[in-house]
A = this chain, B = another copy of it.
Amino acid sequence: MRSGRFSARRSGLRRSFAGDGVQAHLVTSLPNVRYLTGFTGSSGALLVYARGATFVTDFRYRLQAAREVSGCRRVEQRGTMTETLAQLIGKKGLKRVGFEGAHLSFSMHRRLSRKLKGVRLVAAQGRVERLRMVKDAGEIALLRQAVLVAERAYRRAARRLAGRSEREVAASMERAVRENGAEGVAFAPIVAGGRRAALPHAVPGRAKIREGRLVILDFGARFRGYHSDISRTRLPGGGGARAKELYRLVAKARREAVRAVRPGVEARAVDRAARGVIERAGYGDCFGHGTGHGVGLEVHEGPSISSGRREVLEPGMVFTVEPGVYVENFGGVRIEDMVLVTRSGCEIMTRAIPAVSF
């Protein structure tokens, strides 16, 4: 991505300074640092001032930062990161500095406060995350790549399921994701058959997948920092009436949720659309998670599509729609797609592999 994009994002962040009167904002969450600078390393922080910005990293990333980060001053960490940041803030004579309350630890905040007596540190929630919720064209292109790679991997590695172990299928998904050009998987793939499909976050086991039982596959790829997140439920060799009934129920919930997605709608309305279908069928207790979550530089980010969330959907938002029903000692169904909010509704990004596979 061109560096102009990062500097535009930093300008977007500055526009929020007026809200709580800060003179600068300290960014310590790595995905947020990456969003604002392009830095892909595992240790770095960014101070964004009303004009200009300073990026701090340690010795190990000196050369990488020189290549990746432009348009801001680059400083190498001396002593601890806290000491370096305190020095920078002190030297600038700043009096009121925002920080990321959800990311800075209690202890680091305490150390910073002690070193910066005259400075008021103001906890801000989700300042950069709010910007990140609405994706720009470059981000959408990368998300499409992450989807494409995961879909291809699924088609190659999960064609046949019965007789293979969950772990085997998961390993071949991982391999296929990488061979299709991703940096790696977005998260360790979930492959959960039979009763284990009732565990929303099961770890793939040694058990062989059997015909006639529900199998949930939840997988994704990471492409230049951006993620995909998709779930499909399969019923190899066909199955009994109850499995099919659950599947049709979740498919309907997904359909209704997707229909509810358009600009101006609150996130909770999308959740309600899915949850209503499942509740009316008497399975409300078996759907214990939210309907979806944003996807981008993190697998889970804003907006959260769940009950009570009043964030208003906007064009450019990308999130999952993933209703599920989990029945203890029987199995579960989850269908998860990624959608992009458009001007008039939404586009299903994960269309290449059909949601309904039986």
Contacts and interface: CB of A to CB of B under 8 A. Distances in A.
Interface of A: 40-42, 58-64, 99, 101-110, 123, 125, 171, 174-175, 178-179, 183-184, 188, 198-203, 288-289, 328
A105 B107 contact: no
B64 A202 contact: yes
Contacts of A125: 107
Stoichiometry, as copies per complex, reads 2
A105 B110 contact: no
Closest 8 CB pairs of A and B: A59-B288, A101-B107, A60-B200, A106-B109, A101-B106, A60-B201, A102-B107, A63-B199
Nearest to A124: B107
A175 to B, nearest CB: 6
Contacts of A63: 198-199, 328
Contacts of A61: 199-201
A97 to B, nearest CB: 13
A104 B174 CA distance: 32
Given A40-B203, A106-B123, A107-B123, 15 more contacts: A41-B201, A59-B200, A59-B288, A61-B199, A64-B199, A101-B106, A102-B106, A102-B108, A105-B105, A106-B106, A107-B125, A171-B178, A171-B179, A174-B184, A183-B188
